A and B are shown apart, each in its own frame.
Chain A
Amino acid sequence: MSNLRDLYQEVIFDHNRHPRNFGPLPDANRHADGFNPLCGDRLTLNLRVQDGIIQDARFEGSGCAISTASASLMTEALKGKTEAEAAVLFEGFHHMVMGEATTVDLGKLAVLAGVSEFPARVKCASLAWHTLNAALKNEADPVSTE
């Protein structure tokens, strides 16, 4: 039996109730939208990237606890990272939520490891990260993980 508490850890509730880096980013130079229409999860990610380093990351939108907490935790993790480091985190995060082994140090993001036990919710956790990928490539089309 999958443990609900593994999925819904306190840190996740905290980030769901009080999402960090939530709101507009007026001087953003990278942007992408993520939308999972079946769930109704929708987010906009704004980044300020300078000399290959993510100086700031903020998001807006609405979604379930998993997608909101994932976006909130992601924006925290991204600040100060190079684009290459962000790509490594993306890979590591992806492996973790798919239940695969990873050597990447995910730090606080590891609280989302429980998602791998809930296959229907992997798309919620990964929406923000796929949106990040699109933002770094400055893709115009909205991203979906459904």
Chain B
Amino acid sequence: MFDVEALRIQFPILKREVHGRSLVYLDNAATSQKPRSVIDAERHYYEVLNANIHRGVHALSQEATDAFEAARDKVRDFLKARRREEIIFTRGATEAINLVAHSWGRSELKPGDEILVSEMEHHANIVPWQLLCEATGAVLKVIPIDERGALVPGAVESMVNARTRLVGITQVSNALGTVNPVAEIIRLAHAVGAVVLVDGAQAVPHMAADVTALDCDFYVFSGHKLYGPTGIGVLYGKQALLEKMPPYQGGGDMISQVTFRKTTYNDLPYKFEAGTPHIAGVVGLGAAIDFVHSVGLEAIAAHEDRLLAYATQQAECFEGLRIIGTVPGKASILSFVLKGVHPHDIGTILDNEGVAIRTGHHCAMPVMDHFGVPATARASFALYNTTAEVDALFGALRRVEELFLK
């Protein structure tokens, strides 16, 4: 039995009020709230363990290093990666993609090579590839989406070719909720010798990621959408690829030996972790993974699916409301526009009712262009949301209607 009330009390922020009303937090696709265990893990780190890692001989340094590396093992297990050396800590999914674009891309690509991304990508999975294309002469190709917000059937198969070197694809669209057939895309890409980077930022809170079963070459996600801290994320890369890639940043921790004549680099994963990392964030991410395991990803997904179905049902009956993204099997995201009301006005009125949603382009401007809207309103659900909160959302939307459309 999924006990949402027992989960809610683990999230201190859910007790607060906004504009004199109970907070209804439905902006989880932007960032999720943090459970007590994650907050406590960071606090414990600073109160008990804090020291720099991988250097000192003193007790604190050893304990901090142990906590940091234990979190790496948790991430490895969470992603079902084969080896801990394949788990690189970054500032977030964005930095992880930039790392691959910079290190793999600049050493591998030549003019005329092709990179494929989809029209529904977050800007973080578009712009680093545009920069890479400018630097190398490679060409960016865009996999189109259809009117439901799904990849156009057959498009990937017809677009991959011998020049394709990398496919960058999101597992779950942050603007639409679409779940992409990444396993099939990986198979098609591998058939032409291309590597695949999967953006899992929006997927990891909702579904089990198994990089070994998927056989993806790179997988990235951010801690803060997974009930973990901001400023920490993960790059998974296949060891053989990571071994060949040059360092992304130079500094401490990533070196083996430095002289002014020659510097040799550290082994994986440290080769890509220059400088003192966000140790507290890594420890907090480990606690977030423990938390998600304690609830169970299947139970979380089932709960969110119920909420999305309930919300979609109400949305379909709401006059003048158009859902943006209507593919069956979506993950936890209801993006919509309301006839006669700009999303920004919706956002302000909902906020006044204590309901937090996202309005804007969701860092996916090509998606907005595709649907011919300047912006959308987006409600996104997490494990602690309730059907009563969905009712509050639609109650607040009635208020918008009263104000604007009476």
Contacts and interface: CB of A to CB of B under 8 A. Distances in A.
Given A1-B19, A4-B352, A65-B345, A38 B403 contact: no
A38 B361 contact: yes
| B interface residue count range (under 10 / 10 to 19 / 20 to 34 / 35 or more) | 20 to 34
Contacts of B349: 4, 8
A42 interface: yes
Nearest to A40: B374
A120 B359 CA distance: 12
Please classify the interface of chain A as helix (H, G, I), strand (E, B), loop, or mixed, using the class held by over half of its residues: mixed
A42 B361 contact: no
B361 A2 contact: no
A64 interface: yes
B320 to A, nearest CB: 14
B343 A40 contact: yes
A134 to B, nearest CB: 21
Nearest to A13: B404
Contact of A40 (B19, B348, B361, B404): B361
Contacts, number: 59
Given A37-B361, A63-B342, A64-B342, A42 B348 contact: no
A62 B361 contact: no
B309 to A, nearest CB: 29
Contacts of B341: 65
A137 to B, nearest CB: 26
B344 A39 contact: yes
B20 A40 contact: no
B41 interface: no
Interface in B344-358: 344-345, 348-349, 352
A39 B404 CA distance: 19
Contacts of A37: 361, 365
Nearest to B340: A17
A124 B344 contact: yes
Interface string A24-46: 00000000000001111110000
B360 interface: yes
Given A1-B20, A2-B19, A2-B352, A66 B375 contact: no
Contacts of A41: 342, 344, 374
Contacts of A63: 342, 344, 374
B368 interface: yes
Contacts of A95: none
A7 interface: yes
Contact of B342 (A1, A38, A65, A118): A65
Interface in B361-400: 361, 365, 368, 373-375
Contacts of A48: none
Contact of A8 (B342, B344, B360, B403): B403
Contacts of B342: 39-41, 62-65, 68
A64 B344 contact: yes
Contacts of A118: 348
B342 to A, nearest CB: 4
Interface of A: 1-2, 4, 7-8, 13, 37-42, 62-66, 68, 118, 120-121, 124
Closest A-B pairs by Cβ, 7 of them = A40-B374, A64-B342, A40-B375, A64-B344, A65-B345, A64-B345, A1-B19
9 contacts: A1-B20, A1-B352, A8-B345, A13-B404, A38-B361, A39-B374, A40-B361, A41-B374, A121-B344
